[in-house]
Amino acid sequence: MDGRAFGAAYVNLDRIALHRLRESGQLATVLAAVERVLEPAVAADLKALCDAGCDREEILWLLKGAYAGPAFAPIERLFGRQGRALTSARESITNCADLIANINQHPFGILVSATVWGHDLLQLPARLREYASLIQEGSKAFRHGSHWYLHLTKARLVDHVRAFTGDVRDRQVSSLINAVLQPEAGYSEADQAMWRSRYYQDFSGLDPAVTWPAELRLQAARNLEAMTAEHPELKTVFDEALAAYVELLASRNPLLQKSAK
């Protein structure tokens, strides 16, 4: 288990959020908030990318996440506990997995396997260990005000620009990123090139949809909505996760806060 699992999970929520905002008519407000921070010279860089084949809506949506500071709440809010309490919780989950696995090695495990939930219950120790591993990886990824989310935003932008222009376009991409950093950090073409050499491979490819045509991205979003509609229990999970995601995103992103006023 590694931090890329969080990238894939985040991207799924982000794609659903984009689709829901578009369907509700609120997307234009969010994107307008991003556009307001683009100076004329920076707007020209956006136009150049779009003229080269990039999707304007996609770029603006990705740019909403390029701001200074950590995107996720502190560890205490993210997990509801921190420090020793978080370590204790992870150890308790692991110990529970070991206990269940031990019980399943006895005759009771045979009875469990014969129930209608047998397969799922026998997989429980492995699932609990995976969950404990996610807690450990998450605490590493997001501790000390991690810039993980900004890394992912940059990687998605580069993936999109490369796919539709055939080049990384460091000057134009860095110009757009710098414009929406809060406050501006003097992020340059050289900074972007250095970032790519250090971090790009770790975050690239987590959002395949950035390389698809707009029509295909839209259809994929519609298919996901249709799938959740057919499974009410799945829709509930998505809705709850999405609500928590939007709240977290808005609480950390001044651009979204402004658009909500």
Query: Residue 218: CA atoms inside 13 Å, Cβ hemisphere, count?
Result: 9
Q: Which of 123, 142, 161 is the last residue of a domain?
A: 142
252 against 139, higher pLDDT: 139
Q: How confident is the model at residue 4 (pLDDT cuts 50, 70, 90)?
A: confident
Give yes or no: residues 123 and 170 share one domain.
Answer: no
Owner of token pair 């509700």: 24
Report DSSP state, residue 181.
S
Give yes or no: residues 65 and 83 share one domain.
Answer: no
Domain that holds residue 105: 75-142
Give yes or no: residues 156 and 37 share one domain.
Answer: yes
Give yes or no: residues 14 and 62 share one domain.
Answer: yes
Over range 133-146, report the average pLDDT: 78
Q: How confident is the model at residue 259 (pLDDT cuts 50, 70, 90)?
A: very low
**So what's the pLDDT on residue 70?**
52
Over range 133-152, report the average pLDDT: 80
**Tens-place pLDDT, residues 41-66:** 899 999 999 999 999 999 999 998 77
Tell me the whole-structure pTM to 2 decimals.
Answer: 0.81
**So what's the pLDDT on residue 261?**
39
- Cα 149–chain centre separation: 7
